[in-house]
């Protein structure tokens, strides 16, 4: 096995330096040794890979996704989650705490960290799993966890991954967490306003005969949350932004100098309520898909930096759980293996976004939101990189997915673009 590899004439996309260029890249012992127009002088026993037509970019970073393990291993185990992440180009994945039991105490967190460590030690290029610590006991939104103890347990940050309904509790949490210097992610939604809605309220929900969830369930909660953030001053990451009005509220808050970042999910950029006419239960999401105007506003918001990052929110469910009526299906879809090729084909190949813009919000900016150092493609940097073939065609089938679940509206379809190898120094 060689210790060094030359990637010849690969398209290098590096948001940290803002470069998109064709170059030779030499990697040795897990470190990027050189990035030059042409590298002719090589160490002995260097393997050479012709990378014409391929893209080399920093590993992708996922802000929040779900693990089936512990509690629902039939949906996803930690090994299958890691393999799905690797297959999709993700070198860092942050896991939400609503496992069974939830990650609301240091002992439970330590058990899962040990299990993840045992698995990743057996892999040659494992993406590290990071774990969010729960803000409230049982992620029930009622009583604070031992926040200081969790902060010392190696968590990436704090979130329940569920909307908090008690604003007085939110205020106390932000006051307490201000001194702990960990990322805090909150999902604004008022469940009473959402009611039993299973898709975004509007002309399409009426046409399809499905209960509607009004956009104010999100925007009213977001407006209230922003008031609390402004009063307390604790930085907050706003999860799962799904409406155009929310984009406007976030922009206005950033103009006022509020310490916030925000993310939307990849599916909310690609699909809207018009897609739900198929009644495919993999389109049952929470928050629900927005209107076409919402989707357009979200895309603009990401391009303009109002929305800082794209999250995957990988949510696996078994075939049996999703094979029910649309309104009865649990919300969520898988995405770790699908996000990059679909976003690339629908946004980059169409010329709507540049490759740098997409990579920035899938890699660099999510790392910044997690208060991590982004990976970069430069001499002396760890080789936390992936190779992506934007023209490779493959079919989304159970046997072609590393995830144990296959709840996706793209099941059975041909996709163009796939990660072919990942490296982490």
- Looking at the annotation, which residues are catalytic? 313
3-state helix, strand, coil in the chain (%, to 5): 35, 25, 45
In the numeric block, the tokens 């990988």 are attached to: 314
Please say whether the beta carbons of 243 and 219 come within 8 A.
yes
Whole-angstrom Cα distance, residue 94 to residue 127?
A: 10
Query: Residue 42 class from Cβ within 10 Å (0-12 exposed, 13-18 middle, 19+ buried)?
Result: middle
State how beta strands 19-28 and 31-36 pair.
Answer: antiparallel
Buried b / exposed e along 120-157 (16+ C-beta atoms within 10 A): beeeebbbbbbbbbbbbbebebeeebebeebbebebbb
- DSSP state letter for 72: -
Which residues does 416 contact at the CB level (< 8 Å), separation at least 6?
341, 345, 349, 390, 391, 392, 393
Whole-angstrom Cα distance, residue 19 to residue 213?
A: 42
Backbone angles phi, psi at 120, to 5 degrees: -70, -25
Element (H, E) at 15: none
The crossing angle, in degrees rounded to 10, of helices 78-88 and 106-121 is 60
Question: Half-sphere exposure of 184 toward its Cβ, with a 13 Å CA cutoff?
Answer: 26
Please report the beta strands in 66-118, taking only residues with DSSP state E, as ranges in sequence order: 90-95
């Amino acid at each position: 096995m060689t210790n060094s590899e030359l990637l010849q004439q690969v398209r290098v996309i590096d948001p940290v330096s803002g470069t998109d260029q064709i170059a030779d890249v030499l990697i040795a012992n897990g470190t990027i040794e050189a990035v030059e127009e042409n590298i002719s002088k090589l160490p002995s026993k260097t393997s050479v890979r012709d990378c014409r037509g391929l893209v080399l970019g920093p590993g992708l970073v996922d802000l929040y996704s779900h693990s089936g393990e512990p509690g629902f291993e039939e949906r996803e185990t930690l090994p299958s989650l890691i393999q799905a992440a690797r297959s999709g180009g993700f070198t860092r994945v942050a896991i939400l705490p609503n496992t069974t039991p939830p990650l609301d105490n240091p002992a439970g967190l330590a058990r899962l960290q040990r299990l993840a460590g045992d698995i990743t030690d057996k892999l040659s290029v494992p993406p590290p799993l990071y774990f969010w610590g729960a803000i409230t006991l049982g992620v029930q939104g009622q009583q604070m966890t031992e926040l200081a103890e969790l902060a010392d347990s190696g968590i990436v940050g704090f979130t329940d991954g569920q909307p908090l309904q008690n604003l007085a509790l939110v205020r106390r949490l932000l006051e307490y967490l201000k001194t702990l210097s960990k990322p805090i992610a909150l999902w604004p939604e008022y469940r009473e306003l959402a009611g039993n809605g299973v898709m975004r309220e509007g002309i399409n929900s009426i046409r399809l005969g499905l209960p509607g969830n009004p956009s104010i369930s999100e925007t009213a909660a977001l407006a209230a949350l922003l008031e609390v953030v402004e009063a307390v001053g604790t930085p907050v990451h706003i999860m799962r932004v799904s409406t155009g009005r929310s984009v406007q509220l976030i922009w206005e808050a950033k103009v006022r100098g509020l310490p916030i970042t925000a993310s939307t999910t990849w599916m909310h950029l690609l699909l809207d309520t018009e897609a739900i006419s198929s009644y495919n239960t993999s389109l049952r999401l929470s928050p629900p898909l927005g209107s076409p105007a919402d989707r357009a506003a979200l895309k603009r918001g990401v391009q303009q930096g109002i929305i800082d990052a794209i999250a995957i929110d990988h949510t696996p469910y078994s075939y049996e759980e999703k094979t029910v009526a649309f309104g009865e299906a649990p919300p969520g879809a898988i995405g770790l293996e699908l996000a990059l090729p679909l976003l690339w084909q629908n946004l980059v190949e169409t010329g709507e976004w540049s490759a740098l813009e997409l990579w920035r919000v899938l890699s660099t900016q999510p790392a910044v939101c997690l208060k991590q150092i982004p990976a970069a493609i430069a001499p002396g940097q760890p080789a936390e990189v992936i190779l992506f073939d934007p023209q490779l065609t493959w079919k989304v089938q159970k046997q072609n997915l590393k995830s144990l679940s296959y709840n996706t509206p793209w099941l059975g379809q041909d996709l163009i673009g796939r990660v072919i190898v990942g490296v982490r120094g």
